[in-house]
Amino acid sequence: MAEKKAARTRKLKLVDNSPIGLTQPQRKELLDLYRHCSTQKHPPFDSGDIEEMRRVNLERLLYLYLAMLCNDAAADNAKPKSRTVKLRRDVLASMGKLAGREFSPNDIIKRLSAIAPLPSFAADAIRRDYLRISV
C-alpha cells in the first residue's frame, strides 16, 4: 500500500492570484474599443471563403477573451470572486486551433493592434494574465 502512494507523486501547480490591474474606466475603454468584433457577420457558408470565416471567428474569440479578462479584473475588487480563468484557457486554446499553433501574449497583442490601437495598460494586463492562465 505504501508503495502505491510513493508511486503516485503529485505535480505542483502554480496558481497566480495577483490582480489583473484594470480600473473600471480602463475596462470600459477596452471593451468599447473592440466591441465591433463581437458583432461581425460571417460570410455565407457556401461562399467557400474559409480564411474570412477564420478571421471573423478569431476576432470574436479575441473579444470574448477581453470580455472575460475585464470580468476578472472587476472581480478582483468584489467580495464574491467569480473567476473565468478556465474559460480564458479554453478560448486561448480555440484561438490556437484556428491559427494552427499556440498563441502567445505577443500574438494576442499583435492581432488586437491590427484591429484597433491597443492601449499600453491592456497589453500589460494581457501579459500578466497569460502567466496566470498558461500554468
Task: Give the residue carrying C-alpha cell 478569431.
Answer: 58
Residues 94, 75 contacting (CB under 8 angstroms): no
Q: Each residue of 51-96: pLDDT tens digit?
A: 888 888 899 999 999 999 988 887 776 665 567 788 888 998 999 8
State the Cα angle at 21 between 79 and 118, rounded to 5°. 135
What's the pLDDT score for residue 101?
A: 87
Residue 14 has pLDDT above 80, yes or no: no
Residue 9 has pLDDT above 60, yes or no: yes
What ranges do the domains of the chain cover? 22-41+48-133
- Distance between CA atoms of 75 and 82, rounded to whole angstroms? 6
C-alpha cell at 98: 484556428
Residue 122 has pLDDT above 90, yes or no: yes
- Segment 99-128 shows an average pLDDT of 91
